Amino acid sequence: MAYQIHLEQFDGPLDLLLSLIEKEKMDITSISLAKVTDQYIGYLNSEEVVSLSHLSSFLSIASRLLLIKSRALLPVLEFSDEEEESMDDLEMRLKEYKKFREVAMKLNLLFGAKKMLYSRESFSGLQVVFYPPKDITAEDLHQHFSHILGEIPLLETLPEKELQTVITLEEKILELQRTLSDRVESSFSQMIREGADRTDIIVSFLAILEMVKQRFIFVKQEKFFSDIHINRLIS
Amino acid sequence: MPTHQSLFSVLESLLFISGESLSFVRLSKIIGHSEEEIELALNELSEKYLQDETSGLKIVLHNRQALLTTKAENMEKVEFLTKSSMQESLSKAGLEVLSIIAYRAPISKSAIEAIRGVNCNFTLRNLLLRDLIERQENPTDAREYVYSPTFRFLQSLGLENIQSLPDYAVLSVDERLKMFDESSKTVSENEERENKKEIKE
Amino acid sequence: MPTHQSLFSVLESLLFISGESLSFVRLSKIIGHSEEEIELALNELSEKYLQDETSGLKIVLHNRQALLTTKAENMEKVEFLTKSSMQESLSKAGLEVLSIIAYRAPISKSAIEAIRGVNCNFTLRNLLLRDLIERQENPTDAREYVYSPTFRFLQSLGLENIQSLPDYAVLSVDERLKMFDESSKTVSENEERENKKEIKE
In this predicted model, what pLDDT tens digit does every residue of B146-165 receive, in sequence order?
Answer: 999 999 999 999 999 999 99
Residue B198 clears pLDDT 50, i.e. is over it: no
Question: Cβ of A130 and C89 within 8 Å?
Answer: no
Residue B179: pLDDT over 70? no
Helix (H, G, I), strand (E, B) or coil at B136: strand
Partner residue facing B17 (CB), from C81, C113, C194: C81
Averaged pLDDT for residues A3-25: 74
Chain B contact probe: residue of A118, A126, A152, A155 with most B CBs at under 10 A: A118
pLDDT recorded at residue C195: 45
* Mutual angle of helices C4-18 and C24-31, in 10-degree steps: 120
- A60 vs A12: CA distance, rounded Å: 11
Output phi, psi for C113, to 5 deg: -65, -35
**For position B150, what pLDDT does the model report?**
95
Q: Is C58 on the interface with B (CB under 8 A)?
A: no
Cα distance from C159 to chain B (closest Cα, Å)?
32
- Compute the distance between CA of residue A213 and CA of residue C95 in angstroms, rounded to an integer: 69
More confident residue, B139 or A145: A145
C96 contacts chain B (CB < 8 A): no
Q: Whole-angstrom Cα distance, residue C33 to residue C25?
A: 10
| Chain B residues close to A118, C-beta within 8 Å | 69-70, 75, 78, 82, 155
**Nearest residue to C88 via CA among B10, A136, B25, A120:** A136
Show residues of chain B in contact with A113, CB under 8 Å: 157-158
Complete DSSP assignment for chain C: ---HHHHHHHHHHHHHHH-S-EEHHHHHHHH-S-HHHHHHHHHHHHHHHHH-TT--EEEEEETTEEEEEE-GGGHHHHHHHHHHHHHSPPPHHHHHHHHHHHHH-SEEHHHHHHHHSS--HHHHHHHHHTTSEEEEE-SS-TTSEEEEE-HHHHHHTT-SSGGGSTTHHHHTT-GGGGGGTTTTHHHHHHHHHHHHPPPP-
Cβ-based neighbour number of residue C11 at 10 Å: 28
Of C16, C30, C118, the CB nearest to B57: C16
Radius of gyration of chain C (CA): 23
Contact status of C168 with chain B (Cβ, < 8 Å): no
Residue C61: other Cβ atoms inside 10 A: 14
Find, in chain B, the residue whose alpha carbon is nearest to that of A62.
Answer: B117
Instruction: Give pLDDT, residue C199.
Output: 32
Q: Does A119 touch chain B (CB under 8 A)?
A: yes
Mean pLDDT of C87-100: 87
Mean pLDDT rounded to a whole number for chain A: 77
* Residue A164 φ/ψ, nearest 5 degrees: -130, 145
pLDDT at A108: 93
The helix or strand, by DSSP H or E, that contains position A185, with its residue range, turns out to be: strand A185-187
DSSP state letter for B87: -
Residues with Cβ < 8 Å from A214, sequence gap 6 or more?
none
- Looking at A104-118, B87-101, C46-60, C80-94, which range is the least confident one? C80-94
Query: What pLDDT is stored for residue C24 in this prediction?
Result: 96
The confidence score (pLDDT) of residue C181 equals 64
For the segment C14-25, what is each residue's pLDDT rounded down to a tens digit? 999 998 899 999
| Tens of pLDDT, residues A191-222 | 776 656 666 777 777 777 777 776 778 888 88
Q: What is the mean pLDDT of chain B?
A: 85
Do A125 and C69 touch, CB atoms closer than 8 A? Answer: yes
Task: In whole angstroms, give the CA distance from residue C72 to residue C56.
Answer: 9
What's the pLDDT score for residue B177?
A: 60
Residues C61, C70: Cα–Cα separation, whole Å? 14
> Which of residues 179 through 198 in chain B touch C, CB cutoff 8 A?
none
Residues 6+ apart with CB under 8 A from C169: C163
Answer whether C12 touches B (CB < 8 Å): yes
A13-23 and A52-73 helices cross at what angle (nearest 10)?
50
CB contact under 8 A, A141 and C102: yes
Task: Say how far apart CA A170 and CA B25 lie, in whole Å.
Answer: 65
> In the sheet that B145-149 helps form, which strands lie side by side, from edge to edge?
B107-108, B145-149, B133-137
pLDDT for B176: 64
**Residue C24 touches partner A, C-beta closer than 8 Å:** no
Whether residues C94 and A133 touch (CB distance < 8 A) is answered with yes
Nearest to A150 by CA among C136, B157, C96: C96
- Return the number of other C-beta atoms located less than 10 Å from residue B17's C-beta: 25
Chain C interface, best mutation among A122, A156, A160, by max C CB count within 10 A: A122
User: Nearest C-alpha of chain B: how many angstroms from A160?
Assistant: 19
Question: C touches which chains (3+ CB pairs under 8 A)?
Answer: A, B
- Comparing CA positions, the residue from B37, B71, B145 lying closest to residue A119 is B71
CB B31 within 8 A of CB B13: no
Q: Which of residues 99-158 of B touch C (CB under 8 A)?
A: 121-123, 125-126, 128-131, 134-135, 152
Percent of chain A predicted with pLDDT > 90: 14
**Could you give the C-alpha distances from C189 to A52, A72, B141, C6, C197, in angstroms and in order?**
15, 43, 31, 43, 12
**Which residues are bridge partners to B84 per DSSP?**
none
- B23 close to C (CB below 8 A): no
Q: What is the mean pLDDT of residues B20-25?
A: 94
CB pairs under 8 A between A and B: 129
The partner residue sitting opposite C70, judged by closest CB among B16, B73, B74, is B16
pLDDT at B169: 92
Give the separation between CA B137 and CA B35, rounded to whole angstroms.
25
What is the percent of chain A with per-residue pLDDT over 70, rounded to a whole number?
A: 77
Surface of C (135-154) touching A: CB under 8 A: 150, 152-153
Determine contact, residues A58/A164, Cβ cutoff 8 Å.
Answer: no
Average pLDDT over residues C64-84: 92
Q: Which of B144, B133, B138 is nearest to B96 (CA)?
A: B133
pLDDT for the residue B2: 62
**How many Cα atoms are found within 13 Å in the side-chain-facing hemisphere of B155?**
24
Distance between CA C82 and CA C179 in Å, rounded?
A: 37
The pLDDT of residue A47 is 53
Comparison of pLDDT for A71 and C50, the residue scoring more: C50
Find the closest chain A residue to C186 by CA distance: A155
Instruction: Give the contacts of B191 (CB within 8 A, at least 6 positions apart).
Output: none
* Contact between chains at A107 and B75 (C-beta distance less than 8 A): no
Q: Does C87 touch chain B (CB under 8 A)?
A: no
Q: What residues 58-77 of chain B have any CB closer than 8 A to a CB of chain A?
A: 58, 60, 67-72, 75-76
